[in-house]
Structures are given as C-alpha cells and as structure tokens.
Amino acid sequence: MTNVTFSVDDDIHKKMKEHPEIKWTEILRNSIIEYLKKVEEIDVLAIEEFRKNLDQDILNMIEELDEGEELKFYQKTKQKEKERMEIQQKLERG
C-alpha cells in the first residue's frame, strides 16, 4: 500500500483533532474511492456519447480494437479536442 500526504488548513486540523475517535484515513480513502467511481462513470458516459457522433468507418475501426486500445484512442482524441478548444478560445479572445 502507498502512503499519501496531504495538507489541510490549520482550523480544519484543529477540528479533526477534537475527534480522535474518527478514523480520518478511512474517510479519506473511501472518499477517494467514491470520487474515482464517479470520474470513471463520467468517462464511460462520455465515451458512449462520443461513439454516437462518430463516422461509421471510424466506428468500425474502433470496434476492431481491444478495450485498452479503444481507451487510449478515446483519451488521445479527448486531449486533441481539449487542445482544439483552447486554440479556439484564444482566437475568440483575439
């Protein structure tokens, strides 16, 4: 298991110290797990929406990829779209 260090404001730390009965590490661990589930769910929904907008030829090519290759394709496409949007925003700002 890996150890992770994080910071909180002093006032939060004082409040946490007032409750030594609470296992803060467990709360953080569970919060991270739940947050990751939500993020992964969003990615799955985004992939499904993304696939709906694909040209049939591209969709056919993706169908031939294994799950890992498809995810890499999606991530690369997502990054390219992000870059495209950043360029578009810069152009609009002038």
List, for residues 34-88, the tens digit of each pLDDT value. Answer: 888 877 776 666 777 777 777 888 888 888 888 888 888 888 887 888 888 888 8
Q: Which residues of 71-88 are buried (b: 16+ CB within 10 A; e: fewer)?
A: eebbeeeeeeeeeeeeee
Question: Residue 24's pLDDT is what?
Answer: 95
Say if residue 31's pLDDT is above 80.
yes
Question: Residue 23's pLDDT is what?
Answer: 95
Q: Is 68 left (phi over 0), alpha (psi -120 to 50) or beta?
A: alpha
Closest to 43 measured CA to CA, from 80, 77, 3: 77
Three-state secondary structure call for residue 17: helix
Quick one: which H or E segment has residue 5?
none
Report the pLDDT averaged over residues 8-33. Answer: 95
Question: Residue 12's pLDDT is what?
Answer: 94
Question: Residue 44's pLDDT is what?
Answer: 65
Question: Residue 49's pLDDT is what?
Answer: 76
